[in-house]
Structure 1
């Protein structure tokens, strides 16, 4: 046990008996306060009964004054009516003159001569039977037959030669007694009430309109009839448990009732006892404070040593002041010394950690930059390698074409140039899958038809040792894609699968609708068409999978592949609004899932193939075309071709110059323009101006790559590089 606890127990052993004695005294004070409170409430009930008695006697005096009017002695009823009405105690007071047999002769509440009731209230009749009516009477509450309200009545006899000639009565609305009760301003939780001889409520301090006229509890009625004052426990008509103090009104035998919730009486006693308890508690607290102060002088040195130990445990600096005890001061000084050494070590460790974190971040940034540069270098190097081979082929073939006069040899060289151009077109198509989708290439298609058209092409690529299985749902949703890019991606996936199975195997292709695809990063919820290509090949290692989607990354030997197969398929999927998911395990094969979003258009047109476009031919077109192209080489090659097709060609180097020619009044039938050009206007801006200001002209745009979408009604879009036949076909369809 700590020394401080022992000192505290010693103090309690002295104070505990005193505390018990104080509790007994508090209980005594509590009981005394309750008795005083109840005595005061009894006196309040008595005082209220005196007020009611005074009120009734005051009205009796008024009634006697009215009864002594000389007009009554002379029998002048009309004059007495006016006098009584004028001298009534209040407008709500009614003066009634009755014959000895109970017939009403006049009632100030109604005009003189109005037919009146012939009977007295029952309570008046009962009282008159006791003494013959020769004394003033106060009735119980009754429903007034004329006013139809709760009233009570006072009655005095008019005597003439020792006999009763008339009875003069005063009908008073119970609100007069209610007003007297309201003037007392009882506390909100208290309930004051006045009941008649039968225990019926005449007035009530709370909700009088609801309870006046109702009978009180039968037990209370018997109690009020048997004794003139007292105290009892009861429950009010609205269900509140109370202590009830009652006192009878002398002049009327009514009873004044004062009901207080028992908890209010207790709370009043508690307040009195609480004052005493507070004083006792204050003495106890002062005593404890004095004891604590005395004890603190004993244990103060130990507490300061404890504080120094706690600071050392938290790692806070320890500052210790000598307390005058050699042993305690030695321990405190040692703690301060250890604290200083620990803080120095902590600062040194923090500096080393911060330096290590900074070095790690620099290394990470350097690694990321190196990886970016490696990917960029692989991409640009691959592009340069491929195009250098193509340029070399073109350059050599053109040089040989200049030196030969052999027509057959010249055609062979031109065929070689065409093949190089076709290969370059394929390569740029593969590269364009890494950029933005071009509107000129987008079509809403049915993959069911597309895949079955491409199957023959894939069958020609695959050897006999590889089986091709294709499963396509019948009701596939349409998708919006670039058909050429899709064909290329489909072929690339088949070739990659073939290369992964040198000893043969199987390629399984399944195309299905996916309403809720599995969670895929970057793929929002929606409807998708899933193209799944799985092979039974050698699979990929984790290192190869990490780079498999990088452009120009390949595990094949030089000359066997460009490394654009999977990256092109991935770029196609992302361009189309979907994504590509790659999964593979060494020895178990590879699976590629391409998710394409469902097209908003319900109708899908079959994409026309290059063969079909060639079959359409290149019709001769008559008219004048404004050819807008900023590249001089393109102008020099395309313009003669357009002229050879029968068109008159006007050249413009940019959209600004073209619009100036049109505004100057140059007559043209067609405008054929590039999209991206130097100057303040683009081909899209020119197209908008032509459509709005020269609607009779037909407009065609050609684009190799543009950041902007082309969506102008009546404007056809052609993808570069284009065939002359396609240009002529669109010129005839434009507008």
Structure 2
């Protein structure tokens, strides 16, 4: 393949990539503009609908004010006509006194006791206002919209008081507002009759909407949808929700306008890519011409050298080519001196060149590996060092306990990030673990702040830890990271929110049949997210395999959990179905000394209490903490009732059910916090012992009740409950 052809191939490859980038960028910008235009149309339509509702509100208020006139209830129609004429004199509306089939007063004309037949007879309004459109009023002889209200205190209703106005009042609202360019705006009443229109209102006001559009409105098809306007224009129409009087606003965007915008965006992308192609082709042709000329001259020099002629010294302007030409010239000179010497030196040159090339390639490889390794370590360490230093500086300046706790959590997260970098660099090698006794319930409680903040507000995080579980003998940091990875994976599988449930129990024999003999603890993290297909599950444990978008995941989460489980002597199992969620089961061996310990010496067993069984009212709004702590206390023999707010706790304390201890969190939603709840209990239930738990509150020191600080372990809590109950007794 010729040099020119190769350059053209490179040019077209670069151009295709750039053209695709131009197209994607332009299309994305077009979509963003289209979305902004649609939002503008939506905001405009909703605003017009609100203005229409206000216009109707003004007529309803005026009608109700006139209906309260004493003249109506006394039947003094002349006096009502006079009062109504004064009230409507400065407005674009007029007042009516209506019966089901006739008008008894109309301020458009002088008072006449003779009834005027109604163009559209209908029953009187009995409770709320009623709005009626008449194509031709009996007095104005123009289209009229009438708002009628019942006369308060009149039983039965003999009259309704109405305020009438022309649809042109609604039309003025459309003219006063800046209608989005090229759109068509219409206002329709509750009977799908057009009351105002931004184009040709004289023709369409009073006309009924199309059958298709009526069906859409009756079926609640609000928002954007494809349709065709009454004058035959294909459009994307936005229909607002009906206002308080059942009126809606419709804004139609011509499809031709949207298509033109898309074509314009495509034309810009094609134009930019065309200019780029021309520039690349020009550069490639220029370079190809210079290179081809130099190569041809080198080729001629090589032919001369093959014919035992001395090639001339070339000056092409390209250093590499000139160096080769000089070498050819020197070789030609020496060839004339001695054929033998030339052959020997050619052999030496070839051998030296081969050795130099090999050394160069080896050096380049070592340099590349060194740069990659040093670059990754340097960059990540710089980032983590900056974050750590910032935490240290902030820790010196921040004095609030809550803020310090948040900084401590952030520092722990930074440390875990450093461990993750180390895992990424060392994945696949056997890591030296530092095992210790880990109690699952305490680990879940202590990591609660980090996990609950990480999963976000749209995800419910709960736990069910079986009471009296023995500890596992594993690396504590790796265990925390594995639990976090499982929770984060579950969160990422639920973009629209959902529920994550963490549970722990002793494994059944059939679950660990393929593992080494012994007792195992089963830790499960389940979600109701998108789930995985069989193909995805088959590769889910592979390092760096991920289904997340680029930049959203590394594919190391499950790989770390898998490696941790295997190195700890356990295993991991996956269970998932598309659309049915995922369950990850982590099997870890129970610590050997815990396996043979007596049942009453379990880490979660209660201490020796003067009141071994207590009736505890636990007030905790966090579902995860409530489920873990309540389960552990019930397993220790206590009777626990959980309330999620102080208001629920007050209701429970007002019943006849006896309680020994009130255990409450400090910060909670509702009308009272934990401190205020304890104060209330001291007044209404003085026989009740109380303790509070907090992570950062400062006002609990003023209370004469025990305070335990979060995160706490279950043993500490049980001792506090026992001591509080004993002191109160």
TM-score by length of 2: 0.36
TM-score by length of 1: 0.36
